[in-house]
Amino acid sequence: DWESAIRVGVLDCGEEENYETCKEYGIHYYPTFRYFKAFTKQFTTGENYKGADRELQTVRQMMIDFLQNHSQELRPPACPPLDPVSSSDITSLFDKNSHHYTAIVFESNNSYVGREVILDLIQYENIVVKRALNFDKPFLEKLGITSVPSCYLMHPNGSHGLINILKPLRSFFSSYLKSLPGVRKKLLLPLQLPAQEKREESTEIKVWKEFDKSKLYMADLESGLHYLLRVELATHKTLEGAELKTFKDFVTISAKLFPGRQPVVKLLETLQEWLVSLPLDKIPYDAILDLVNNKMRISGIFLTKKVQWVGCQGSRPELRGYTCSLWKLFHILTVQAALRPKALISTGLEDNPQTVLQIMRRYIHHFFGCRACAQHFEEMAKESMDSVKTLDAAVLWLWEKHNVVNNRLAGDLTEDPKFPKVQWPPPDICPACHEEIKGLHSWNEAQVLQFMTDHYNSENILYKYAESQTDSSETEQGDTREVKDKSLLKKPSGNRENKIQDKENILDSESKVLDKLVANHGPVKDSGKSAVGSANLKQTKQAVSFLGIGFSNIDMSLCVILYVASSLFLMIMYFFFRMRSKRWKVKYYRSSV
């Protein structure tokens, strides 16, 4: 009913085709409400109104606030006045003959009922709705109004009086006014919205993938990393401060602990080295994306560019998926940290059993799209995360809190009916994890820890459905893929020349980031060794191949400048000596006797 004044649209940022749009508009969290004023000609990302909660009534009230704050000169023509009228304005209406009904909703200053009824009736003719505040008590007594909200109705024949209604609610007022004799909905032309293009992808049928729930699938983990790096984080145009520190720490633990295929691990290691060596307190995320997408052509790194859920697939596209894979990823990192306690040595993150949990906590706080989920996780972390004193305790803490979340979401709209939220692991997967003490269920935590260690071990990961890594030096074909993929786990790669080349490429990307920041933001504020680092980085430039030689564009530019300068110098010297030679001949010339 409000469509003539304000239209509502929905965009799913989880759909791959919408990634770029959501990134352009800076959508970081869900749900996000953006408001766009009528007749806006220049590009704008909209106004971000934040209410106390995300309840429907609060959203409706935010829409009303936005309409009221709209500039009058560009106000939608169909939007009626929403400001209250005075007692004198109402009195003047009694003396006027009108061909339509006039309804006046009397209400308190903080009430939205009157404005909601006004908008409910904008598409109906033969009636005008206004609102008035309950400040003028004598005037209200004169009209017989004893409580607010109340509705006073003026008929076309001149009669007027208070509406007797069972409940003073918006729906009751609107329904009554719409049912008055002669009040009917206007005949409006349908909205002319842009025609949606027919997409070939829509004809694609998603084939259900059979999977073993007692196993992990590399396709889920790599799809989760792809979504995390290219979608969720990419909505942030720049990373700085606590966000940058969180991202650096997350990449570090992933590079050291993630039991992935060699090309993926090499990508994480390259990204980690690049971040550590960058002397900046602000990094544009596009520069990080360039490295993730391997714009520098570093050999042997690869990460799938599409989601392929297997153990995390849902019965509908919007269910499970990324959140499932993120849980699995952090479970794997806590288990791997317990299995390989020396993996984080020399990273500055060692000697703290809470390292993975605290980084997960910060990641969810800064980046995870679901704000309600992030708030719930933060509450659990504040409650008991500090009690974790060992790496094994970290594994059990995350397992326990995951079950708390499962219990809270059981029966929720987000629950997949095909995969109900149950306490995990269920008895059919780990019978030894379950016990009964005096008829009550109890967890055997020693057995749970053993199960978690086995379940999230690299040996329990299957490579079925994982995308072939054609960008790496190894190629997988047919049924031999799983065997070959296992051979790709954390093995030394490349020869010395490739490593040197890759190092130079990384250094080049650092210099590009420096150049980009200086161009966009002026001088970069670095701390500590940043100035020295900047000078050193500018000395180590791109090793992108030029005609098969390891010269960069800058190297070639310097060569050209040197060549031109040398040519000019030689020409000057040539003319100098030539002129000098002529003067010498004239000076010492003697006529013949």
Q: What is the CATH number of the domain that holds 308?
A: 1.20.120.310
Question: Within a 13 Å sphere around the CA of 171, how many CA atoms are in the beta-carbon half?
Answer: 2
- Give yes or no: residues 92 and 56 share one domain: no
- Give yes or no: residues 429 and 319 share one domain: yes
Strand partners, 443: 434
* Lowest mean pLDDT, pick from 30-44, 58-72, 181-195, 447-461: 181-195
As a residue count, the chain comes to 593
pLDDT at 542 over 90: no
- Give yes or no: residues 176 and 322 share one domain: no
Residue 455 · residue 402 · CB < 8 Å? no
- Give yes or no: residues 51 and 120 share one domain: no
- Give yes or no: residues 343 and 294 share one domain: yes
CA distances in angstroms from 366 to 14, 322, 326, 409, 572, listed in the order given:
18, 17, 15, 22, 63
Q: Read off the CATH number of the domain in which 142 is found.
A: 3.40.30.10
Burial of 195 (0-12, 13-18, 19+ CB in 10 A): exposed
Global pTM reads: 0.70
Strand partners, 48: 34
Residue 491 located in a structural domain:
no
Over residues 295-299, mean pLDDT: 86
- Which of residues 78 and 522 earns the better pLDDT score? 78
Residue 115 · residue 6 · CB < 8 Å? no
Among residues 435, 461, 487, the one where a domain terminates is 461
Among residues 433, 461, 489, the one where a domain terminates is 461
Ordered alpha helix ranges (H), 202-340:
218-227, 241-257, 262-277, 285-292, 322-339
Query: pLDDT averaged over the chain?
Result: 83
Q: How confident is the model at residue 490 (pLDDT cuts 50, 70, 90)?
A: very low
Q: How confident is the model at residue 509 (pLDDT cuts 50, 70, 90)?
A: low
pLDDT digits over 107-119, tens only? 999 999 999 999 9
- Give yes or no: residues 428 and 388 share one domain: yes
Over residues 479-483, mean pLDDT: 44
pLDDT digits over 247-256, tens only? 999 999 999 9
Residue 479 located in a structural domain:
no
Task: Kindly state the DSSP code that residue 457 receives in the 8-state scheme.
Answer: S
Q: How many domains does the chain divide into?
A: 3
- Give yes or no: residues 64 and 93 share one domain: no
Residue 326 · residue 357 · CB < 8 Å? no
- Give yes or no: residues 129 and 233 share one domain: no
pLDDT of residue 64: 92
Please state, in angstroms and rounded to a whole number, the distance separating the CA atoms of residues 228 and 368. 9
- Give yes or no: residues 366 and 228 share one domain: yes
411: left (phi over 0), alpha (psi -120 to 50) or beta: left
List the domain range (segments joined by +) for residue 120. Answer: 87-185
pLDDT of residue 426: 94
Strand partners, 152: 104, 162
pLDDT of residue 331: 97
Residue 585 located in a structural domain:
no
- Give yes or no: residues 229 and 168 share one domain: no
Residue 468 located in a structural domain:
no
- Give yes or no: residues 357 and 389 share one domain: yes
pLDDT at 134 over 60: yes
Residue 199 located in a structural domain:
no
3-state secondary structure of 128: strand
Residue 448 located in a structural domain:
yes
Residue 576 located in a structural domain:
no
pLDDT at 440 over 80: yes
pLDDT digits over 555-593, tens only? 677 888 888 889 999 989 888 888 877 766 665 555 544
Q: How confident is the model at residue 387 (pLDDT cuts 50, 70, 90)?
A: very high
pLDDT of residue 56: 86
Residue 170 located in a structural domain:
yes
- Give yes or no: residues 284 and 429 share one domain: yes
pLDDT of residue 94: 84
